Structure 1
Amino acid sequence: MKFINRKNEIKTLENEYNKSSSFIILYGRRRTGKTTLIKEFIKEKNAFYFFADKQNESLQIERFKNQLAEHFKDELLRKITISDWDTLFEYFINKIGEKKIIFIIDEFQYLCMVNKNFASIFQRIYDEKLSNKNIMIILCGSLISMMYSETLAYSSPLYGRRTAQIKLQPIKFQYYSEFFNNPSHKELIEFYSITSGVPKYILEFNREKTPLWNIENNILNKDNFLYSEPKFLLQEEINDLSRYFSILHTISSGSTKLSTICSQLGINSGGITPYITKLIDLDIVEKEVPVTENIDNGKKGLYKIKDNYLRFWFNYVYPYQSYLEIGNISYPLEKIKNEFDLWVSKTYEELARESLLNTDTISFPIKKLGRWWDKNDEIDIVGIGENEIIFGECKWSVKKVGLSVLYDLKEKSKKVQWKNAVRKEYFILFSKEGFSDELIELAKENDNIILSDF
């Protein structure tokens, strides 16, 4: 499998590598490809890579020592006993000399987990022995909360040492097709609606089969890692897994306002807010407000699960585990099949909205992009410029979009209060199946009407 995208991240790492000394924190949720990124970057470079785990500290010191012996071809080191980190790093420093080297600890948080003082130990070793060496240090980790507290937070012993930080995100849709062989645009959107851009999930799928085939044979198969993935993803980050899972299931089911989440779970807002805040910190949930509002507007705020796979799992796997555990997949599978187009339409809307940031069909720079809604109406896309505003509607349906959709959009746009006196309005329509002849003719005559076949 070829290495896909990550151009910006590689550029950042190369820039840091060209410095005489650098200290990078690389973190992000599991399965996003952090280790793959590191391995791609250190190709043809002098590098020492150590993967930490949950073994006790003495075993990790022993393994670290043996890897040093292997790296420097030193059989004597392998045979002697070393029981502390200082001695190992003293050896490492003496061996590297003046030659540039990259030093990587992957899953750094596990060393901090087995020894709560390890961040302080490493900070002292760095300050006294490594900071003035021709070395590039990369500390990588997948437990977001722990990586933040141990390396980035003001209270961390390592605070202020980093020269760069990279929070690795899933692959963007614009590069998604590189995982496939000649897919249709429709198939790509369908696959993306399940996997998002998480490389491990994409590669687990049989990309020669349909999305529904993969749902049946991978996600609903209790022997496949995808079936239990959310449990493994979250169990090290949070306590009270059942409470968090209940919140995520409630959000995935359509209860997205704080008041309705509280009502569904029978908990007051004071009891639920800390859990949602934690999920936001973990990059699992995000708060959304109408694009014309301030994000702090709690009354109009809605909550959504950011990742498509987690959203799918909490919608179609978590509620039906009593069926799936005994191998009865027919009921949840039938429900998925009946609702699949509706499911994909939500992702289509999100991708269409994002596409406005990567297109030259819009004649003005978009400063703010999102949705808009009030008690009665919703607009899929609203993009705001300096004095320009664009309204958009997305249709993932079997019918061509006609004039009525445009007229409805124009009526709803009148309710959006933003620079009403001076704004220049544009309208964009997205359709899976294309547009009526009348709408195409009208768009040709009006430069503020845009039709997209995204």
Structure 2
Amino acid sequence: MFVGRTNELDYLNTKYTSSNAEFIVLYGRRRIGKTEILREFVKDKKHVFYSGHQITDFMQLNRVTSVMTEHFNKKIYSDSFNQWEQVFSYISENLIEEEKTVIIFDEFPYMVEGNSSIPSVLQSIWDHSLSKKNILIILCGSSISFMKNELLSEKNPLYGRTTGVLKITEMDFESSLGFYPNIDFHEQVAFYSVFSGVPYYLSRINREKSLKENIITSILQNGSVLFNEVEFLLKQELREVSVYNTIITAIALGRTKQNEIVQLSGVEKTKLTYYLNSLIDLGIIRKEFPSTIKTKEMVKSRVGLYILDNSFFRFYYRFVYPHVSELMDGNIDIIYEDIIEKQLMDFIGYEFEKIAIAHVRNINQRKEIPLRLIRIGRWWDKNKEIDIVGYDISHNFIFGECKWRNEKLGVPVLKQLQDKSMAIKEEVRDKYYILFSKSGFTDELKNLALIDDKIILVDYNLAKGGFGIN
């Protein structure tokens, strides 16, 4: 079952319909859904799909020979290509000009691992012939360090040849709804909050079982599909896994400032930045700034916070990693009922704020609000926090509050938000307010919103399987 990824497919189709030869690098961490996107993209197109393996270069050439000759249906004079120059020349010579051919090398880093000359050879053939053909080449890889720091670096022979770079990230909440249709919206939020927007994790959800049952059978049980997922990912991408585990644990425990991470982890401050940047590249953490800080000010600003950007990792390091020994001993029900269940509402509430911010971005892009916001995010200072603050170029602001409670939101919550908005020191021309609620709104607040178009109420009760705007 293929779900979402409309923007990514649109991007690839734009490249496909281009009148020029196109050369795309597509990358993203393990399990993020790269191969599924590519399979969906080429299902109705003339294409060759080769997936690299961690094997010798000799065997790699044998396998790619079989795939290429089967597609182009033109024999070669030997049993196998013995050089990569022959592979790329063979492709160039057999392309049909009338129809664009898509050539995909999935897990390209594995190919280069066996033969480091491949990028140089491909660069030469691209310059001399492939760049003049009706072709779309896609190099895909899961190794972030290789794809970003080597393949896309200035020192790489292919630097400057690519016509596009597409990084695949997590799906947002609204794009993920196809993984769990026909269930209540609050359950969809709960599943997304635990399993995150990684398609593989979402695909493990059994829609016939409750959230508790899915957490136990897919995450908490030793040997379950996601029990060792985090450790496996870190070992595949990073060295010094123990250091990264310590840093991530510190952030999961609320140590979000650099000095706090140093104090709890024991990692030297001079080395910490390197580790943090590696985790940012993997999409595990991100550095967040109050939404009113300008981009050019972020480098020198000290108010940035490091937070876990993937909710599954946040769940794992909050509830699984500290209790691995107990879980392996079989104390699953105790860990779930005495620890996870008691904190799950707060955990989901935090993720609900992120979902709400993404929703504001979506409705802003769809022009469903009377503003054209250029920045949207959280905001805080030493005394106050606001869940959502966005603004446009004319200094019109929108302020948002999110409540994951089993009670309706009333006018007092709006008043509190209006009071907190006074803490913004920037020039404010006009103010709008947007409130998100799990359990709806009081009649008093709904009546107020009817007569004041600057108050926007977003209620899941108004739309099955999505947000509704009152």
TM-score range, shorter-chain basis?
over 0.9
| Cα pair 1:23 1:162 within 8 Å, conserved | yes
Q: Does 1:429 align with 2:415?
A: no
CA distance in 1, matches of 2:443, 2:131: 67
- Structure 2: give runs of 5+ residues left out of the alignment: 460-466
Distance 1:356 1:153, change over 3 A: same
- Superposed counterparts of 1:23-422, under 5 Å: 23-73=23-73, 80-96=79-95, 98=97, 100-294=100-294, 295-334=298-337, 335-359=339-363, 362-385=369-392, 386-420=394-428
Partner of 2:22: 22
- Residue-by-residue CA offset, 1:332-364 (whole Å, 9 max, x unaligned): 312111111111101111111221223356321
Q: What displacement does 1:55 show?
A: 0.8
Q: Which amino acid aligns with 1:314?
A: Y
| Cα pair 1:150 1:158 within 8 Å, conserved | no
Q: TM-score, normalised by structure 1?
A: 0.93
- Structure 1: give runs of 5+ residues left out of the alignment: none
CA distance in 1, matches of 2:333, 2:439: 30
Moved more, 66-75 or 170-179: 66-75
Distance 1:297 1:185, change over 3 A: farther
Q: Which amino acid aligns with 2:191?
A: F
Match of 1:451 among 453, 457, 461: 457
Percent identity for Structure 1 against Structure 2: 39
CA distance in 2, matches of 1:98, 1:381: 51
Q: What displacement does 1:171 show?
A: 2.2
Distance 1:296 1:94, change over 3 A: closer
CA distance in 1, matches of 2:69, 2:121: 22
CA distance in 2, matches of 1:406, 1:11: 39
CA distance in 1, matches of 2:3, 2:443: 39
Q: 3-state SS of the aligned residue for 2:30?
A: coil
| Cα pair 2:172 2:355 within 8 Å, conserved | no
Partner of 1:6: 5
CA distance in 2, matches of 1:34, 1:13: 12
- Residue-by-residue CA offset, 1:32-74 (whole Å, 9 max, x unaligned): 2211121122223221111001111111111112223333446
Q: Which amino acid aligns with 1:446?
A: D
- Residue-by-residue CA offset, 1:59-98 (whole Å, 9 max, x unaligned): 1111112223333446776x72542222333334344354
CA distance in 1, matches of 2:84, 2:237: 27
| Cα pair 1:391 1:426 within 8 Å, conserved | yes
CA distance in 2, matches of 1:389, 1:252: 31
Q: What displacement does 1:281 show?
A: 2.5
Distance 1:374 1:93, change over 3 A: closer
| Cα pair 2:221 2:227 within 8 Å, conserved | yes
| Cα pair 2:88 2:122 within 8 Å, conserved | no
Q: Which amino acid aligns with 1:326?
A: D
| Cα pair 1:120 1:157 within 8 Å, conserved | yes
CA distance in 2, matches of 1:362, 1:98: 46
Q: 3-state SS of the aligned residue for 2:227?
A: helix
| Cα pair 1:289 1:297 within 8 Å, conserved | no
Distance 1:358 1:82, change over 3 A: closer
Q: 3-state SS of the aligned residue for 1:247?
A: helix
| Cα pair 2:25 2:162 within 8 Å, conserved | yes
Q: Which amino acid aligns with 1:170?
A: E
